[in-house]
């Protein structure tokens, strides 16, 4: 059967930025979504999808670049799925993110909004992440200028990030601009050492191979944690590699390994074995210290996390009466308790709830470590834990902080919140679309007092947003 000829649209002018990091154009009155473009680009586009309401396509030729276009700083731009907005000036990235937040709150939530506060941009637009995970693969992504038939077994191997849409393809990363050194140095050393010693890289289809993944965690205190995940047991090779890492990188303060024989890469249910160094690294935020273990959750942009939590605290101070009793504060989806502990001085009691038991143990440990005695933490599904009995036991909340995952809150949680009817809610979101949906559920009893977008991830379309609510 003959393949249908692909339709190419010529001299398409890009108008604006759209959702998911795509750019937007209009052709014959129909919306066209195109990746890796910025407003003002004139391009030839090959259609990849055509629907009644929109089209999608890929650039096959840059006819005329936008006068706004910057030269991407990363050699992997265009292939790697991250940092899609490198060609867009950072000031414009912030403008589009601000507009995205407002559009979604109005269009999806149908909310009455005050004037939004200007988005808080990141001082660091490169090397801002404190955690990255890399995958070893024996079938890496092959670039267009390479000849697959001429590659040796070793040349097929790669260490880097998954390619979007291909679960078994990994882009071999030489230099990543997301995490500060020694992240790149460690990754490149391990790759070359593995090549020199003939170690196998993981086969993602067959679920076999010696080297599987590696996780690098850095902290604002200068500490470094490395977790090497092996796909099979080989004590001789494992000891050889770990000793080489330890000898060449004394900067690594915590060196762990995991032997993961499962089909999936998650290590949350696996034993992390300390090979050398300290059991944890630490993050500092004002007078608080947070213990970070190999499985601990912590915001991946430490500097912006502090600005985000400061917004939450400012909103809390704004609504807490200065001359009355200190309030009871609930921190729902508390993670390792960072927001709860950050607000503890303002409260008579802070109560944190989180689905992941290990995170709650971290929260309890962080409370003890920082000498915070007015906190209680519970593990369980939010919609099951947060009920009438729970509220009776812990006290009716005066202020509730929500910081859910991208999927937002369960409708049952919204229902219980409206029954508990706290005076104020602060909703922290990494997905303004689901935030808008949830706020529309609360709109019958709560009005929006303030909105503050925060950019945690420069050069991506992702944006955090904090909304302050007050009961009507």
* Distance (Å, whole) CA 364 – CA 352: 10
Cα gap 171→180, rounded to integer Å: 19
| Pair 352, 374: CB distance under 8 Å | no
Is 430 considered catalytic here?
A: yes
Q: Which two tokens stand for residue 360?
A: 């709650």
Other C-beta atoms within 10 Å of 41: how many? 24
* CA separation for the pair 191, 175 (Å, rounded): 13
Q: What are the residues facing 216 on neighbouring strands?
A: 132, 226
Edge-to-edge strands, sheet with 224-230: 166-172, 158-163, 131-137, 211-218, 224-230, 254-259, 273-277
Contact 116, 95 (CB under 8 A): no
User: Would you list the DSSP string of 194-218?
Assistant: HHHHTPPBPBTTTTB-SEEEEEEEE
Give 167: exposed, middle or buried? Use CB within 10 Å, 0-12, 13-18, 19+. Answer: exposed
Catalytic residue among 37, 83, 176, 430: 430
Active site residues: 430
């Amino acid at each position: 059967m003959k393949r249908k000829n692909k339709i190419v649209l010529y001299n398409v002018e890009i108008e604006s930025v759209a959702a998911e990091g795509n750019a937007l154009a209009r052709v014959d009155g129909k919306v066209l979504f195109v990746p890796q473009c910025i407003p003002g680009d004139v391009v030839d586009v090959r259609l990849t999808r055509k629907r009644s309401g929109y089209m999608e396509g890929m650039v096959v030729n840059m006819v005329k670049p936008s006068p706004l276009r910057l030269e991407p700083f990363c050699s992997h731009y265009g292939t790697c799925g991250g940092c899609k907005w490198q060609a867009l000036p950072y000031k414009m990235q912030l403008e589009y993110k601000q507009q995205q937040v407002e559009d979604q709150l109005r269009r999806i939530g149908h909310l009455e909004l005050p004037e939004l506060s200007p988005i808080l941009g990141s001082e660091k637009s490169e090397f801002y992440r404190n955690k990255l995970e890399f995958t070893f693969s024996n079938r890496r992504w092959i670039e267009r200028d390479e000849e697959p038939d001429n590659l040796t077994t070793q040349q097929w191997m790669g260490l880097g990030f998954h390619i979007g849409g291909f679960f078994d393809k990994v882009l071999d990363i030489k230099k990543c601009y997301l995490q500060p050194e020694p992240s790149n140095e460690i990754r490149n050393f391990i790759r070359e050492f593995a090549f020199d010693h003939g170690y196998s890289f993981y086969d993602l289809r067959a679920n076999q191979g010696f080297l599987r993944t590696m996780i690098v965690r850095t902290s604002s205190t200068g500490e470094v944690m490395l977790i090497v995940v092996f796909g099979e047991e080989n004590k001789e090779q494992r000891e050889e590699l770990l000793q080489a890492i330890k000898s060449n990188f004394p900067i690594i303060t915590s060196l762990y390994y995991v032997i993961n024989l499962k089909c999936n890469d998650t290590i949350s249910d696996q034993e992390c074995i300390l090979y050398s160094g300290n059991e944890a690294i630490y993050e500092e935020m004002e007078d608080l210290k947070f213990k970070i273990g190999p499985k601990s959750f912590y915001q991946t942009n430490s500097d912006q996390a502090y600005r985000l939590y400061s917004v939450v605290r400012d909103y809390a101070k704004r609504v807490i009466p200065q001359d009355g009793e200190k309030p009871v504060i609930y921190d729902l989806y508390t993670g390792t308790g960072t927001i709860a502990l950050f607000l503890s001085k303002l409260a008579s009691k802070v109560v944190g709830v989180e689905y992941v038991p290990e995170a709650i143990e971290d929260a309890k440990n962080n409370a003890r470590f920082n000498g915070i005695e007015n906190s209680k933490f519970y593990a369980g599904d939010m919609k099951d834990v947060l009920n009438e009995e729970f509220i009776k036991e812990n006290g009716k909340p005066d202020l509730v902080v929500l910081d859910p995952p991208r999927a937002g809150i369960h409708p049952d949680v919204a229902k219980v919140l409206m029954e508990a009817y706290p005076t104020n809610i602060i909703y922290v979101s990494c997905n303004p679309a689901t935030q808008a949906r949830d706020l529309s559920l609360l709109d019958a009893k709560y009005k929006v007092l303030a909105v503050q977008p925060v950019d945690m991830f420069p050069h991506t379309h992702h944006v955090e947003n904090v909304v302050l609510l007050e009961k009507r």
